């Protein structure tokens, strides 16, 4: 039991450590880049398809954090673009950022405030189904 708790704590620390290393991008800065048609930008929502369908950042693609490793090839064309990652509140974002970094992605960003912050600021939301 103690070994399991120590392992879980170590995993949590590694997630928090990486999430702290990925530069953040604020919602307003992301909106400005989206409005300008920034071709170097990819927004990745790592929540579940159900959460995504209920509302997401406009133009985001959805790959749930627990499917990301198996679906990394879908992002291969985006390897040299700025990948902005978010989830509901940050935990899954950290897991996804760690996985993407280990897969060789270098231009990774964490959406500050994640989806809760995005909606709290009354920023635009799409409700189309997951792609």
Alpha helices in 22-67 (DSSP H): 27-35, 49-54
Among 86, 95, 99, 94, residue whose Cα is nearest residue 51: 86
Give the catalytic positions in this structure. Answer: 87
Q: Alpha-carbon dihedral of residues 117, 123, 69, 23, nearest 10 degrees?
A: -60
The model's pTM = 0.82
pLDDT at 130: 54
DSSP 8-class letter at 78: G
| pLDDT tens-place string over residues 59-105 | 999 999 999 999 999 999 999 999 999 999 999 999 999 999 999 99
| pLDDT tens-place string over residues 96-126 | 999 999 999 999 999 999 999 999 999 999 9
Asked if CATH classification 3.30.565.10 holds for the domain at 2-120, the reply, yes or no, is: no
């Amino acid at each position: 039991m103690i070994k399991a708790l120590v392992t879980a704590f170590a995993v949590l620390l590694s997630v928090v450590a990486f999430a702290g290393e990925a530069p953040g991008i604020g919602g307003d800065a992301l909106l400005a880049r989206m409005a300008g048609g920034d071709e170097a930008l990819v927004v990745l929502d790592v929540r579940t398809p159900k959460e995504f369908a209920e509302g997401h950042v406009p133009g985001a693609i959805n790959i749930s954090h627990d499917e990301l490793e198996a679906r990394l090839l879908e992002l291969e064309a985006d390897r040299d673009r700025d990948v902005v990652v978010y989830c509901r509140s940050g935990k899954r974002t950290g897991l996804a950022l760690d996985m993407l970094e280990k897969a060789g992605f270098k231009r990774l960003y964490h959406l500050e405030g994640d989806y809760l912050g995005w909606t709290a600021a009354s920023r635009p939301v799409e409700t189309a189904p997951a792609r």
